[in-house]
Amino acid sequence: MAPHDLHRPFKRPAISDQERRREQSLLRQAQNRQDAQRHARFLASAALSLPPQSSEPESEPKPEPEFELAEFEAGSDSGYESLDVIGASKLKAVEARKWFAKQLMLPEWMIDIPNNLAQDWFVFARPSGKRCFVVSYNGTTISRLRNGAVLHRFPSGLPSGARKRDPSYSILDCIFHEADQTYYVIDMVCWRGYPLSDCTAEFRFFWLTSKLAETDAFEPPSHYHKYRFSLVPVFNCDSNGLYAAYSAPVPYVKDGLLFYNKHAHYQAGITPLALVWKDENCSQYVLDTDSKGQVPNQQQVVLELQDDGKLTTSDDPPMLFGCLDGSFIQQSGLHSGCLLRFSIGEGGLVLMDGKLEKADLHYLGKANRARASADSFSKVMFQHSVRHSPLRIDGLLESVSLPVDQESKACDIEMDG
Domain CATH number, residue 179? 3.30.470.30
pLDDT for 408 equals: 40
How far apart (Å, rounded) are the C-alpha atoms in residues 149 and 135? 14
Would you say residue 26 lies in a domain? yes
Whether residue 318 sits in one domain with residue 194: no
Domain for residue 294, yes or no? no
Give the pLDDT of residue 401. Answer: 86
Smallest CA-to-CA distance from 205 within 248, 173, 234 is with 234
Asked if residue 261 and residue 115 are part of one domain, the reply reads: yes
Residue 56 belongs to a domain: no
10-residue mean pLDDT series, the chain (417 residues) = 38 64 76 58 63 43 31 35 38 65 87 93 98 90 85 93 80 96 96 91 96 93 92 96 97 97 93 96 91 88 96 93 94 94 94 86 91 91 94 95 49 46
Q: What does DSSP say about strands 228-231 and 182-191: parallel, antiparallel, or unpaired? A: parallel
Same domain, 270 and 305: no
- Domain co-membership, 146 together with 243: yes
157 and 117 within one domain: yes
CATH number at residue 391: 2.40.50
Contacts for 273 with CB less than 8 Å, ≥ 6 apart: 22, 25, 26, 260, 261, 263, 264, 267
Amino acid at 154: F
In a domain? residue 172: yes
Q: Tell me the C-alpha distance between 320 and 299, whole Å.
A: 17
Are 34 and 177 in the same domain? yes
296-315 pLDDT tens trace:
999 999 999 999 999 999 99
Question: Does residue 5 lie within any of the structural domains?
Answer: no
| Same-domain pairing of 264 and 304 | no
* Residue 9: per-residue pLDDT: 42
Looking at the structure, do residues 367 and 236 belong to the same domain, yes or no? no
Residues 322 and 360 in one domain: yes
Number of domains in the chain: 2
Would you list the DSSP string of 162-203? SS---S-EEEEEEEEETTTTEEEEEEEEEETTEE-TTS-HHH
Tell me which of 244, 277, 310 is where a domain ends. 277
Q: Mark whether 103 and 144 lie in a shared domain.
A: yes
Same domain for 308 and 266: no
Half-sphere exposure of 65 (CA within 13 A, CB side): 25
pLDDT at 92 (0 to 100)? 66
Residues 324, 224 share a domain: no
Residue 287 lies in a domain: no
DSSP 9: P
Q: Taking Cα atoms as reference points, which of 74, 12, 60 lies closest to residue 269?
A: 74
Residue 42 in domain: yes
Domain hosting 373: range is 300-398
